[in-house]
Structure 1
Amino acid sequence: MLKRLAYLALCACAPLQAAPLLDDARLQQLANDRYWISLGHYETAKLGGWRSYVDDPRFFLDADGAHHPDRELKATLKALYAPASLGEKHAQCVFPARTRWLREQLQLNDLPTLACKDYTQWFKDVSPHSAVMIFPAAYLNSPSSMFGHTLLRIDQADVQSDNTALLSYAVNFGAYIEGNDNSILYAWKGLMGGYPGLFALVPYQEKLAEYRSLENRDLWEYRLNLTPAETGRMVEHIWELKQIQFDYFFFDENCSYRLLELLQVARPSLDLTSQFPLTAIPTDTVKAVKQAGLVERTDYRPSRERELLERAAPLDKAEEQQVLALSADTARLNSAEFTTLPKARQALVQDAAYRLERYRANGQERDPARTQRSFELLRAINRNPPPPLQIERPGLPEEGHESRTWQLGAGTREDRAFAEYGLRMAYHDLNDNAYGFPLGAQIEILQLKVRQYENNDWQVQRLDLATIRSLTPRNELLQPLSWQVTGGLERVLGKHDDEVLVSHVNGGAGGTWQLADEMLGFALGTVRAEHNNDFAEFISPAAGFNTGVLWRNGLGNLTLEAKGDYFTNGEIRRSLSLNQQWELSRSLGLRLSAKREFSQLASAQNEVMLELKWYHY
């Protein structure tokens, strides 16, 4: 605040020229212009008027600029005529996008002349000509990346002809995290806006290494049809946002939402953000950009993990063992076991060994021994190169089902019929429509299911705060851990054959194996903490298991699961379930569910339900 007052005092005491006087009508007209609203990141406030998403007073020249676009415009116009002696701190240097627009709108030909060397050199280094939206696919083992991510790449004029995208810059918006918050604390603070969000402009090569290599995430690149002038306008505004803080919210005011605002600065006729009043999940924002006609081409970059698995796919068990042996000791390149292989097979094995070594090096400190092994393998590859790696492009993530799901079911539980109504805010389970989603990945946030039994008997069946499952298959080369975690409210068997609504937290870890094409088998050990009014303890712990089969078939996805929980108080609860989904269309699924539950407290219960799922944002 003191900084702003000192700045305004300088402007008032030593003006060189006077700012033009605008009548109220013209002032309001400019202040309500879509471009000015975009530059200030304004939205209509809940109780009327305006509010800016920017939560940093340094961004505003008027004390009430965050809520009054007209006052901010008036203060900006005055600041543009401040003495040139302010140098790099002058409003023309700090706010180049505002300056250019007001100069054009009001024909401001008498502004003080400034060099703005810092901004001019920065803009020259970036040299914006075109833009690409980058979507690193979802990565379940990182809480910040469960839903994927979006960023922008700013390309120079010769990037496409010279194939020099690695020299471009990336625009990223993310939460600024100090210290090492654990996953639970990260999720809570991310939901509640506990982190500041900042824009960053960094070399694209750094972000590519981070997402493609360190986190082993596939990358999708959506080339936008922005003109050089539109791209330049966007980059002008990025300079204005340097070190400017926004509140970061995991579900709405996140990386994807902020980038949509930048695109509206580039092309003010766009209306992208109004589609996301509650949540802004990255895949949904990519769909919005595509539907707005901004995408002219889509490119796919597979992760190092996918490249390794694809190279190793044609190898048999003995050859996979050779891969492990070579990656551990390159002297095995001269062993009889390796040299007796046909040359074509040698080429595949040594290339897979090299890729395995580079995969293992991700995120690790430089190891001279590993570097030497990689070098020896690379020399062998140059002497006997393998065929080019051909990776089939998976389904486009934005063409998968919508993230929000409405659910309507009908079924019977023992001799009682019921209807079930549900809403899930986001966004995919193991049985949902498969296109665009990896097999074995489940992320569900805020799911409510309510049942209506005969005689108008209503009850909450479950309320899931979050359910995450990562079932990644193990093989000879890679041994990922499968895991799951869930928490919320659910109905379980209780005394007198009744159902009791309990609160619980449940998690587990284990392994997943590829049983056949499009078929996974999994087995996890689990732990559970439950508050149940039928139990004497306030919190009752249990250990258990969760095992089953997941099969992607011609109709959709099928799961067959067995679960068990063995409580320390003597209660034993088990269940068998079968779920098969029919994919009626991209937005509709029909699911048949059958379940049998067992409990020490009650007799076994059978349940069958047919459920219609409508995926609709």
Structure 2
Amino acid sequence: MLRRYFIAALLCSCLLPTSVAFALSSAQLEHLAQHPTWLKLLHYGDSRQSEILTEDFFLSPDGQHDPQAELRADLAAYNAPWPKDGDSHARCRFPARYYWLSQQISLPGYNLTPPQCPTFARWSLPDKVQSISLFLVSGYLGNPASVFGHSLLKLNTGAQDDQAGMFDLTVSYGALVPPDEPVWRYILRGLGGGYEAGFSDRYFYTQDLVYSRTEFRDIWDYELRLSDTQRTLLILHLWEVLGKKFTYYFLDKNCAFRLSELLELVIDEPLLTNARFWYVPTETFHRLEDIDQARKAVGQPGLIKAVRFIPSAQRKLYHQFSLLKPEEQAATQAVMQQGPTALPDQLAHLKQDRQAEVLDTLLAYSNYRLTAEQPTPSAATKAAKNRFLPARFLLPPSTEPLKEVPALDSPAQGNRPMLTSIGFGHEEQRGSYLRLHGAAFVQEALGRNGLEDNELAVFDAAVSIGDTFFLDQLDLIRIRTIKTDFITADGENPWSWQLRTGLAQDADDYDAFFAFGAGRAWKISPQLTAYAMTDAAAHSVEPYLRLRPHLGLLAGNGNLKGRLLAGIETTDYQGNAQPFVSAELQWGFAAQTSLFIGIEQAESANVSAELKWFW
């Protein structure tokens, strides 16, 4: 079908003496075919072949590996007769190609949105899209592909009747995974390119429902400063790639890579400078911040027009609950735990205006639970809302608007995700040694990042060089989730937890281990967090099973942070234990450089200092 369409278009171009296909010299065709923008429009990679697998993305049979053949086919198809189904014409299917070509050469009768392309015209919202945003979505441990975050594009219309932009279009990229695919198979196939992937479009309210209201993930909205020409070219190209298939690679050619690739079509500065073996969403946003600062440094308008924090539904609820007075919080939690029958007794001792605040919080909680329980919310949750709503209508409206959730800094305004460090250590048994430390991905509790007191590290390794060369530490993955904001109610998880697996030096041997712990945490002040946990661990050296109860204290804010840790670890199966204590301090004295000092006392004393670079 495509071959017949190509031949018909080429014959048509031969019959038209004004055809642009024959108005260009070979040198001009070669120049256009090798132009960086043309190659980006065709998604040619380093291998000089398009990374798009879908055949109908190309008009020429050789278009996937010959950009000039595709250029000739596109120019020929421009003059092809309009079919009865106008949407199938090349000018409707590939508007970005012709838009760009119209700026390079003369295209007779060119129209940005031909009237014969009704489907494209409806989708592209001509003259309605005012700006484009790139969203950074926080990580989600429930999905391996989302542990490091996610990114998507949003077309902002600024409609007066939709200030939140819920009906604006978003475009995201993801693997096409069969339903109920086991996690282990997803990881293995994702690492090896075993899935196809593609771009899809949805209204923002569907994304908000998933990310904010179901998975409880925060979002940072980076509104970009693009010219009209840049914005138009990007929107037109989004239409071209929707539904087209790529090969998906979990580590590098993922959602962050593909969306950065799209933005490189219209942004002069490269975005994928760090895309080698590993690429995570925050790297794109770090690069946007770099470009923004570089432009401003030379007196140009920045690339980033605004950064807006969109808190998750859970964060909004917890913030609303935190604004209540202690007796109001107690009344609210009593109703959550006992059900709406406890409402009259719990409200009786409160003033009318405070009753309204409690009911507003209970309604917010009901909506939060109804969404979290989808697709089949419980009858109890629905009945509770039906009881709270008429009670609230009996009270006057609140006179003051609800205070906004304090904005969290974007992860891209903190440390970059990869780490290299050099330092020294001294241990009583080994003496002094040089320590080299690196991580493929790390967001430290002591670093500058958007994880608050949490921590996530992958392939975090350190080697030491002294009298001997030895592997000091290898954490395949390390996760710590500190939860200080929660509501004591059914369905709410109050537990903090941590997981760590890897390899550690143990006397003259190496110890492979897997540890998991849980406990509780308390926010004593904005700069001070305390937690108590107990780890249960399996080891490859005796004792093979160990318990490790401990207390932790995290302190500091901004550039200077510290951590104190004290506890015991069992040394046999008779209840004997070894006490341990450690203190760590990290000072971020430059944007991506920190000084770390650590002291630990267990079987022996250990002192270390490192100079860290994040990149």
Tell me the TM-score range normalised by the shorter chain.
0.7 to 0.9
2:388 to 344, 369, 377: 377
State the partner residue of 1:600: none
Deviations 1:556-602 (A, max 9, x none): 031415464678999988854332323333322222222344xxxxx
Aligned to 2:582: 577
- 1:215 deviates by 1.4
Please give the secondary structure, in 1, of the residue aligned with 2:73: helix
Structure 1 counterpart of 2:226, which letter? Answer: L
Aligned-pair distance for 1:198?
Answer: 1.4
Equivalence map 1:583-602=2 (5 Å): 583-597=588-602
How many Å separate the matches in 1 of 2:247 and 2:107?
Answer: 35
Would the alpha carbon gap of residues 581 and 160 (structure 1) be closer, same or farther in structure 2, given more than 3 Å must change?
Answer: farther
Deviation (angstroms), 1:132: 1.8
Local SS of the residue matching 2:232: helix
Contact 2:10 2:73 in 1 (8 A): no
Cα distance 1:352–1:161, how it changes in 2: closer, same or farther (>3 A)? Answer: closer
Equivalence map 1:272-311=2 (5 Å):
272-292=271-291, 293-311=302-320
Q: Which residue of 2 aligns with 1:397?
A: 411
Deviation per residue, 1:68-113 (Å, 9 max, x gap): 3233323333343444338443322221211232344332327899
> Does 2:516 align with 1:508?
yes
Equivalent position SS for 1:403: coil
Distance 1:398 1:111, change over 3 A: closer
Letter of the 2:516 counterpart? G
C-alpha RMSD of matched pairs (Å):
3.3
Query: Which residue does 1:423 correspond to in 2?
Result: 438
Which amino acid in 2 is paired with 1:374?
A: K
The CA deviation string for residues 308-337 of structure 1, in whole angstroms up to 9 with x for no partner, is: 2222224466543421333353343322x4
Deviation at 1:257, TM superposition (A): 2.0
Asked whether the 8 Å contact 2:328–2:358 carries over to 1, the reply is yes
Give the direction of change, closer, same or farther, for the CA distance of 1:100–1:396 in structure 2 (3 Å limit). closer
Which amino acid in structure 2 is aligned with residue 588 of structure 1?
Answer: T
Work out the CA distance in 2 between the residues paired with 1:548 and 1:73.
66
**Structure 1 position 155 matched with structure 2 position 153:** no
Q: Contact 1:149 / 1:282 at 8 angstroms: preserved in 2? A: yes
TM-score norm. by structure 1 comes to: 0.85
Identity level (%):
25
- Deviations 1:154-174 (CA, angstroms, capped at 9, x unpaired): 122x43696251221111112
Alpha carbons 1:129, 1:227 under 8 Å: kept: no
Counterpart mapping for 1:471-486 below 5 A: 471-473=482-484, 476-477=488-489, 478-486=492-500
Alignment check: 8 A CA contact 1:135 1:150 kept: yes
2:438·2:460 contact (CA, 8 Å) conserved in 1?
Answer: yes
The match for 2:548 is: 545
Q: Secondary structure at the match of 1:356?
A: helix
Q: Describe the shift of the 1:502–1:164 C-alpha distance in structure 2 as closer, same or farther (beyond 3 A).
A: closer
Contact 1:542 1:566 in 2 (8 A): no
2:544 equivalent to 1:522: no
Assess if the C-alpha contact under 8 Å between 1:467 and 1:486 holds in 2: yes
Q: 1-side partners of 2:324 and 2:581: how far apart? A: 37
User: Which residue of structure 1 lines up, in the alignment, with residue 25 of structure 2?
Assistant: 23
Q: Which residue of the partner structure matches residue 296 of structure 2?
A: none
Which of 326, 339, 343 in structure 2 is aligned with 1:333? 343
Q: TM-score, structure 2 length as denominator?
A: 0.85
| Equivalent residue, structure 2, for 1:249 | 249
1:414 aligns to 2:428 (yes or no)? yes
- Asked if 2 retains the 8 angstrom alpha-carbon contact of 1:469 and 1:485, the reply is yes
Distance 1:585 1:370 in 2: 50
Q: For 1:321 and 1:345, how far apart are their aligned partners in 2?
A: 13
Residues 96/311 of structure 1: CA separation in 2 closer, same or farther (3 Å cut): same
1:588/1:614 contact within 8 Å kept: yes
State the Cα distance separating 1:43 from its structure 2 match.
Answer: 3.3
- List aligned pairs for 1:44-83, cutoff 5 A: 44-45=46-47, 50-83=48-81
Q: Deviations over 1:99-144 (max 9, x none)?
A: 2323443323278998133323333489433212222223344433
- Specify whether residues 489 and 527 from structure 1 end up closer, same or farther in structure 2 by C-alpha distance, changes over 3 A only: closer
Residue 164 to residue 360, structure 1, CA distance change in 2 (3 Å):
closer
In 2, the alpha carbon distance for the partners of 1:118 and 1:449 equals 56
Structure 1 residues 401 and 563, CA, compared in 2 at 3 Å: closer, same or farther? farther
Counterpart CA distance in 2 for 1:553 and 1:141 is 30
2:466 corresponds to 1:453? yes
Q: Quote how far apart the aligned CAs of 1:268 are.
A: 5.1
Q: CA deviation at 1:417?
A: 0.7
Say which of 363, 373, 377 aligns to 2:372: 363
What's the CA shift for 1:481? Answer: 3.8
Q: Aligned letter for 2:308? A: D
How many residue pairs end up in the alignment?
A: 584
Q: Are 2:570 and 1:558 equivalent residues in the alignment?
A: no
Look up the match of 2:604. Answer: 605
Please report how far the alpha carbon of residue 384 of structure 1 lies from its aligned counterpart in structure 2 after TM superposition: 4.5
Deviates more, 1:213-222 or 1:249-258: 249-258
- In 2, Cα distance between equivalents of 1:463 and 1:67: 43
Instruction: Measure how far apart 1:418 and its partner are.
Output: 0.5
CA deviations over 1:405-452 (Å, ceiling 9, x no partner): 111121112141111011112121233x2353321x211122231111
Report the more deviating stretch, 109-118 or 88-97: 109-118
C-alpha separation between the residues in 1 aligned to 2:351 and 2:278? 55
Aligned-partner Cα distance in 1 for 2:550–2:56: 55
Q: Is the 8 A contact 1:132 1:224 kept in 2?
A: yes
Partners of 2:578 and 2:184 in 1: CA distance: 27
Deviation of residue 526 (structure 1)?
Answer: 2.5
Q: Residue 134 of structure 1 contacts residue 221 of structure 1 at CA under 8 Å; is this kept in 2?
A: yes
Q: Deviations over 1:514-570 (max 9, x none)?
A: 15223131314424253x6xx7xxxx9635335331312263031415464678999
1:488 aligned onto 2:491: no
After superposition, the Cα gap between the structure-2 partners of 1:326 and 1:442, relative to the gap in structure 1 and judged at 3 Å, is: same
Partner of 2:82: 84
Question: Cα offset for 1:237?
Answer: 1.0
Structure 1, 96-105 or 558-567: larger mean CA deviation: 558-567
Letter in 2 for 1:34: P
Shift of the 510–566 alpha-carbon distance from structure 1 to 2, 3 Å rule, reads: same
User: Is the 1:482–1:524 contact (alpha carbons within 8 Å) kept by the matching residues of 2?
Assistant: no
- For the 8 Å contact 2:427–2:607, the answer to whether it is kept is yes
Q: Give the counterpart letter for 1:303 in structure 2.
A: S
Local SS of the residue matching 2:251:
coil
Where 2:519 maps in the other structure, the secondary structure is: strand
| Residues 1:553 and 1:466: Cα distance change in structure 2 (over 3 Å) | same
